[in-house]
Amino acid sequence: MASPEPIKFTDSAAYERFMAPWSRSAGNLFLDWLAPGPGLSWVDVGCGNGAFTEMILARSAPMLVSAIDASEAQLAMARQKISAKQVELSIGDAMALPYDGSRFDLAVMALVLFFVPDPRKGAAEMVRVTKPGGMVASYTWDAVRGGSPTHHLWDELDALGIPASRPPNVEISRFEALKALWAELGLRDVETRELVVERTFSDFDDYWLSMVVSTPAGILARLSDAESAELRRRLQARLPASATGEITVHASATAIKGRKAA
C-alpha cells in the first residue's frame, strides 16, 4: 500500500473553505478559556492564513501579535486580510522561532502542534520566547479519539484501503501526552479543556466540496472515478441529513495552557 502524501497547506483559498470555519469555532472557545487581558504581546505560531490572528485582534486588544508560519502561500493570504500595525507576519520554523527569549506575554499554537515534526521542540520554543509568568497554550484536534473534522473521511478511506493523510504526530493530541509535555517543560498551573464544536453544511454537496474536494492532501486526484464514487456513496450514507438536507458534523479539540515559572 502506498504511503499517503504529507499534508501541505499551500492552497490558501481551499484551506479557507476546508478548515477556517472549524478553526474559528474552536478558536473562539479557546480564547474564552484563556481569558487574556488587553495590551499583551502574543506570538501565534503556525498562523496559516491568519484566521486565529484575526480573532486575537478582534477579541483581545493585543499590543503586538507576531504571527509566523512555514508557508509563504498561507502568509500571502494573511497579508491580504490583516493590515493592523500591531501585527507582524513572518515566515519561519516553529522549532526555531526567530525571536529573543522572554519576549511575549502569551505563546499560542492553534491546530498546529501535531503538525510540528518534533512537538517537544516546538513547545520548548514557545516556552523559550515567553516571559516569566507568561502563558503557553495550544489546542489540536483530538485525532486519536476521532475528534478531527476529517475523521469521517479518514475512516471511509481506511475502509476502502486507501491511505489517508493524517498529521504526523497525532499522539500529541492526547490529554495525557500534552500534560506530560507541559510538565516536562516546567510549566506551572497547567489546565486542560475539551473544546467541542460543530459545523452545518447546507447539503451533502456542500460537505463534499468543503471537506473532500478542498482537502490539502488532494484526495480526489489520487482516486479513480470508481473509488471517488464509492467514497461519496459511503460518506453520504454515513452522514444523515436533516429534513431540509442540512448535514451537521461535530469535532472536538484538546486544549492545554500553563504558565512559565517566574
Q: What average pLDDT does the structure give for the chain? A: 92
Mean pLDDT of 22-49: 96
CATH number of 12-148+165-198+251-259: 3.40.50.150
Whole-model pTM? 0.91
pLDDT at position 17 is 79
Confidence label for 5 from pLDDT (cuts 50, 70 and 90): very low
pLDDT at position 12 is 56
Mean pLDDT of 177-204: 98
C-alpha cell at 198: 460543530
Mean pLDDT of 242-249: 97
Confidence label for 6 from pLDDT (cuts 50, 70 and 90): very low
pLDDT exceeds cutoff 90 at 11:
no
Locate the domains of the chain by residue range: 12-148+165-198+251-259
Q: State pLDDT tens for residues 144-165.
A: 999 999 999 999 999 999 888 8
pLDDT at position 1 is 37
